[in-house]
Structure 1
Amino acid sequence: MATLSRTSSFKPLPSDSLPPWLSISQPLLQWWMEQSVKGVQPLMNVQLAWLESVSSAMQMEMEFCQAIAESHEKISHCLLIHQKSPKSTEKITDCYQQAMQDLSNAHLNRLKKVTELSHDFRSAIWEEI
């Protein structure tokens, strides 16, 4: 998963362009900005990891929906081709079993990917903590 840069890009303002009351507090402002960037960066990385995880999950679900559509297409194709033949029930049964086997394999693959996704997400969270 992608991580954001951890370096602070805060640069103090030039002292000559600041009013006197602000130029005195410049070191304090610089320290405050560095601390706020350090505190926000891990939260941004956690959110980025979560969004990447959600994106991967959505992609896996779309792949599974595609497998469902393909199995339905196979079954429909078998029903339309073999509807008039007297031995069609055996052929339809074979087509149906093949489509269900493909769908079962797609579901098992989906479960495997979900397990890996959960592990990757937990690893990314622990890196930030």
Structure 2
Amino acid sequence: MLAENSLSLDQIREIEKTGTFNKLKVTLLDVRTSEEVKGGRIEKAVNVPVGELEQDLALAPDLFKKKYGFNLPTHDSKTEALLVYCKSGMRTRRAIDILSKREYKNNLYAYFGGWDEYSNPNTN
């Protein structure tokens, strides 16, 4: 993953306000477990646990949407981006590797600070 595709907390906050980054509509992908997400998540984030990601990327788009309730941006989209985060960055790296193998590149971003940084009252 390119260094410029790693976003900061300030950039995440801006995405929350606007829903966009670099003029792309952003889908926030939380790759923690569904149990972890029950404890809080970035507003408007959708959950696909990293343990299910690789398998579920092989689903037809309509089956993926039926399971998760949203359409995953395509790897070559010029209008939509995918931003991945987890608790502290480890699963984000794994998810980025999985998505990169599916040819996501120019519209794939990571927030390595994760839920730990985002939810820390000292960073708000």
TM-based fold match above 0.5? no
Going by fraction, where is helix more abundant, 1 or 2? 1
